């Protein structure tokens, strides 16, 4: 190829163009101002702002049982019935993660998230040293009743719906038994019926999973727990931790996942929580777990089967945290104005984030109609349930 050949000239021009382009890109990159820090919490808060004329969006610190406790109240129409969600744990508030799953609920309900005594924002609102001696299932159940009474008074409601999740299902079920006159219905999600029976079945299912996968480490650690629960029925915190470690690893908390960090991380973006509030979640757990787990171990509603309000259970098919079959068997013996069992086939214990669309569907289809409950309405609710393969029994 000669020095002046057309091909060589073309290659030279191309090389110069590439060099100039590279220089231009370098200059452009060097002169571009830094990207401003994004306030993700502010963006989320703005996106979920309740903008309807008759909506409600309040974050309130209210007096409850001699303490100050935080609630969030959100809905697009204040005429809708109230749905109080009672969080799990103990001391695992769902207020800071609710922004990720409850938006659809707010079209049909005024949704209340409540940080219980010793939990989350409520932990930071009180002196932990003073709160410690008051932590009990009975006290938190009475707190729940006070929260319901506050909501009835502030928003002019005769009754409310209560949804209890995990540990909150102990509180919610106790509330439904003590004060059925305050509730349209009680919804149990990840319902615990008996502390000892639930843990016995959870352990057996987790051990079976370890055996079926020939997981040597899991088998060794799980077998070392026996007897589980203890012979006296107690549940040492260390043993629960090991059992949950492997239950979670085999998808018994979130189906198809070996943990829940993806869910807990949502709190970091909560528009309702400060960094201090997020840090308080761990502090609240440290305060609450050793004081409340004995109450969980003693909890036993196996023979408590008469209720004055409808009982609806949302059950994850793969839940080994609070094994669903224990609750399903119990519900068969329940006598109440109405009862329903809804299976979530692709969920374990966290169906509000595992199958959020189906949770919304059943809240609207099976729960909401009970706010206008009468004989005809009860029949309608059961007809809808039967047509979606959900067991329903409106008679005693």
Which domains, from first to last, does the chain contain?
Answer: 43-195+260-393 (3.40.50.1820), 197-248 (no CATH)
**pLDDT number for residue 117:** 97
Could you tell me the two tokens for 130? 């003073």
CA distances from 111 to 36, 72, 73 (A): 34, 8, 6
**pLDDT number for residue 167:** 97
Burial of 322 (0-12, 13-18, 19+ CB in 10 A): buried
> For 63, left (φ over 0), alpha (ψ -120 to 50), or beta?
beta
Reduced to 3 states (helix: H, G, I; strand: E, B; else coil), residue 294 is helix
**pLDDT number for residue 2:** 44
For residue range 20-31, list pLDDT tens digits in order.
Answer: 333 333 333 345
Question: What is the number of residues in the chain?
Answer: 396
Whole-number Å distance between alpha carbons of 266 and 5? 64
Largest separation between any pair of C-alpha atoms in the chain: 101
**pLDDT number for residue 16:** 41
**pLDDT number for residue 216:** 96
| Residues with pLDDT less than 70, the chain | 1-36, 373-396
Whole-number Å distance between alpha carbons of 156 and 78? 10
**pLDDT number for residue 395:** 36
For residue range 58-69, list pLDDT tens digits in order.
Answer: 999 999 999 999
Asked, as a colleague might, if the bond just before 232 is cis with ω within 30 of 0, I would say: no
**pLDDT number for residue 87:** 97
Compute the C-alpha angle 94/98/101, nearest 5°.
130
pTM listed for this prediction = 0.85
Listed in sequence order, the DSSP H helices in the chain are 6-31, 40-47, 120-124, 128-132, 137-155, 167-178, 195-212, 216-223, 237-249, 261-264, 275-298, 324-333, 351-354, 356-362, 375-386
Compute the C-alpha angle 71/74/79, nearest 5°.
120
> In this structure, are residues 8 and 2 in contact, taking their beta carbons and an 8 Å threshold?
yes
Q: How many CB atoms lie within 10 A of CB 45?
A: 16
Our measurement of the distance from residue 68's CA atom to the centroid of its chain's CA atoms, rounded to an integer in Å, reads 22
């Amino acid at each position: 190829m000669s020095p002046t050949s057309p091909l060589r000239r073309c290659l030279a021009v191309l090389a110069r163009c590439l060099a100039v382009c590279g220089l231009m890109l370098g200059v452009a990159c060097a002169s571009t101002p830094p990207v401003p820090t994004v306030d993700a919490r502010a963006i989320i808060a703005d996106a979920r702002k309740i903008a309807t004329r008759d909506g409600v969006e309040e974050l309130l610190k209210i007096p409850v049982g001699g303490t100050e406790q935080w609630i969030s109240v959100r809905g697009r129409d204040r005429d809708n019935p109230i749905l109080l969600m009672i969080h799990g744990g103990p001391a695992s508030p769902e207020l800071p993660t609710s922004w990720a799953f409850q938006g659809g609920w707010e079209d049909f309900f005024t949704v209340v998230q409540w940080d219980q005594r010793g939990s989350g924002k409520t932990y930071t609102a009180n002196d932990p040293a003073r709160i410690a001696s008051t932590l009990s299932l009975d006290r938190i159940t009475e707190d729940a009743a006070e929260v319901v009474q506050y909501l009835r008074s502030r928003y002019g409601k005769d009754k409310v719906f209560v949804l209890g999740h995990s540990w909150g299902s102990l509180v919610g079920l106790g509330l439904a038994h003590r004060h059925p006159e305050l509730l349209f219905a009680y919804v149990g999600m990840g319902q615990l019926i008996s502390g000892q029976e639930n843990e016995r079945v959870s352990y057996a299912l987790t051990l079976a999973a370890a055996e079926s996968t020939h997981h040597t480490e899991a088998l060794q650690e799980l077998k070392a727990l026996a007897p589980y629960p203890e012979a006296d029925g107690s549940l040492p915190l260390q043993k629960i931790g090991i059992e949950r470690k492997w239950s979670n690893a085999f998808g018994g908390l979130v189906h198809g996942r070996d943990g829940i960090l993806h869910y807990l991380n949502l709190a970091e973006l909560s528009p309702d929580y400060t960094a201090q509030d997020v840090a308080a979640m761990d502090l609240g757990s440290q305060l609450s777990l050793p004081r409340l787990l004995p109450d969980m171990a003693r909890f036993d509603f196996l023979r408590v089967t008469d209720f004055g309000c409808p009982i609806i259970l949302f059950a994850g098919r793969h839940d080994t945290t609070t094994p669903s079959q224990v609750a399903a068997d119990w519900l068969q013996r329940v006598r109440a104005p109405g009862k329903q069992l809804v299976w979530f086939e692709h969920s374990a214990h966290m169906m509000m984030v595992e199958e959020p669309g189906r949770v919304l569907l059943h809240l609207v289809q099976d729960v909401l109609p009970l706010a206008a409950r009468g004989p005809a309405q009860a029949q309608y609710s059961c007809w809808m349930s039967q047509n979606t393969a959900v067991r329903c029994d409106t008679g005693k």
